[in-house]
Amino acid sequence: MGYPCPMCGRYTLTVDASVLADLFELEPLTEFQPRYNIAPTRAGPIVRSGVEGDREWGVVRGGLVPSWAYEALIGRRVITARAETVAQKPSFRSAYKHRRCLVPADGFYEWVKTGGAKQPHHIRFADRRPFACAGLWERGIEPETGAPIDSCTILTTTPNELMADLHDRMPVILPPRRFGDWIQPGPLGPDAAEAVLLPFPAEELEAVPVTTLVNSPRNEDPRCLEPVGEQGALGFD
């Protein structure tokens, strides 16, 4: 039996690799497969600034492992970072200054308690287009093997009107015009941070109740997105 994760702990990336390449102005990601239930500690793609300052793909595990961490499992506790405090927190300060990234997605899951159960919802753009969440990445070391660990976390902010009925936080979704501002190397000024770390407008999003198959991270196929119920005020009742 699976269980729901913290805010934006599970997300989807089901579009074709060529669509992602167009969005991020990169060559298509090689060996890409649609993902229907990306869970914490599972590997997923990011877009980051390379050594020469150009955009590049990376494949990292979810849940940021700080470079000073003594165990990789700390990543389970830092799946997300609050935008309001990310610049001050020891776990995130260095990555926020030097290793910001884009986390591609085309939706994320959130659970709402209904009676004695929790109903999963898939939050996405109404036209199903992919988007990017503001993220941070870090390179740590696996203590037992000495191997490098690239990991990431997703920033969250206050909810918009749609998300307020589901959760008290939502991921920071960046419009394409802000991609370059976010991943440019070096510290991000306060004005630039204020411009990007905002709740995305609710009008373009929908929240669709989906099957509880998504509760288990072992389920990673199109059935996870099967809708249930009928559309209502949230998107659905």
The phi and psi torsions of 74 (rounded to 5 degrees) equal -60, -25
Percentage of the residues of the chain whose pLDDT score is greater than 70: 89
Domain 11-216 homologous superfamily, CATH:
SOS response associated peptidase-like (3.90.1680.10)
Please tell me the total number of residues recorded for the chain in this structure. Answer: 237
User: Would residue 110 show up in a list of annotated catalytic residues for this protein?
Assistant: yes
Rounded to the nearest integer, the mean pLDDT of the chain is 88
Distances (CA, A) of 230 to 120, 233, 234, 236: 14, 10, 10, 6
pLDDT of 74 reads 57
Catalytic residue among 5, 101, 110, 206: 110
Q: What is the rounded distance in angstroms from the CA atom of residue 60 to the CA atom of residue 64?
A: 9
Rounded CA separation 199/84 (Å): 12
pLDDT average, residue stretch 22-48: 95
pLDDT digits (tens, 9 = 90+) for 161-209: 999 999 999 999 999 999 999 999 888 888 888 888 999 999 999 999 9
Reply yes or no on whether the pLDDT at 210 is more than 90.
yes
- Using left for φ > 0, alpha for ψ between -120 and 50, and beta otherwise, residue 235 falls in left
Element (H, E) at 153: strand 148-157
Q: Is residue 36 very low, low, confident or very high in pLDDT (cuts 50, 70, 90)?
A: very high
pTM, 2 dp: 0.90
Annotated active-site residue 224? The verdict is no
Spans of all domains in the chain: 11-216
Among residues 5, 8, 101, 224, the one annotated as catalytic is: 8
